[in-house]
Amino acid sequence: MSELAYLTKGVFRSDVLADVDGQPRLVGSRCKNCGDVRFPHAPACPACQAPADKLEAAILSRIGTVVTASRVERAIEPHKAPYLLSYVQLPEGPRVFCQLLAPSLEPRDVIGSRCELVVDKLFEKEGVAVNGYKFKVQP
């Protein structure tokens, strides 16, 4: 999965994404003590305070549901408006903050839609694409 290599180090944890059967998957954390699942990976369990060594990687579902979306019209460099931001609900529990790719940039058209994880360019830095995870509304 070569495109994962474009994820800029220092922006996301290098293990935020995994390649499972040729498809990208988000990796969160699961507490071995209480079962609490978080994305992104928690530094310690916020439910039972178990330390990092009690947290294991949790490979999360690549299909989620759009909980909410807002179209940004005034962006901060290096981002270019307009684009959709969203929270996506995953079946394992976490709600993921992300950019959303959709045929319509109207929030009311996409809220409630099923969506799928993709890897895509977030912005360019010194001419180099910085990729990240996004969700894409399914047709």
Partner 1 sequence: MKVGVLGVGQVPFTGPNDIPMGELGGRAARAALADAGIAASEVGMAAVGSVYEHPSVGQRVLLQLGLNGIPLVNLENACASATSAVIDAVRWIQAGEADVALAIGVDKMASHYSSGPLPLVNETDTFGAQGLTVPAYFGLIAEKHMAEFGSTREDFARISHKNRTYAEQNPFARFRKAPSLDEILASPVIATPIGKFDCCANGDGAAAVVLCSEAYARRHAAARVVWIRATELGGGVLGDRLDDDPMTGLARRAYERSGIGPEDIQVVECHDNFSIGEFEAYERLDFCAHGEGHLYLRAGKSAIGGKGAAFNPSGGLLGRSHPAGATGCAQIGSIVQQLRGAAGPMQHPGARAGLVQTSGGGVMELQSNATTVVILSL
- Token couple for 119: 């890897």
Strand positions, DSSP E, the chain: 17-20, 23-31, 37-38, 55-59, 63-72, 83-89, 95-101, 114-125, 128-137
Query: Is 28 near partner 1 (CB under 8 A)?
Result: no
Q: Decide whether 11 or 52 has the Cβ nearer to partner 1.
A: 11
Query: Is 86 near partner 1 (CB under 8 A)?
Result: yes
Measured distance CA(23)–CA(17) in Å, rounded: 10
DSSP-assigned beta bridge partners for residue 48: none
Query: Is 132 near partner 1 (CB under 8 A)?
Result: yes
Q: Decide whether 6 or 12 has the Cβ nearer to partner 1.
A: 12
Answer for which of 33, 65, 68, 92 binds partner 1 (CB under 8 A) is 68
Give residues in contact with partner 1 (CB under 8 A).
8, 10-12, 38, 40, 42, 46, 67-76, 79, 83, 85-87, 95, 97-99, 107-108, 111-112, 122-123, 130, 132
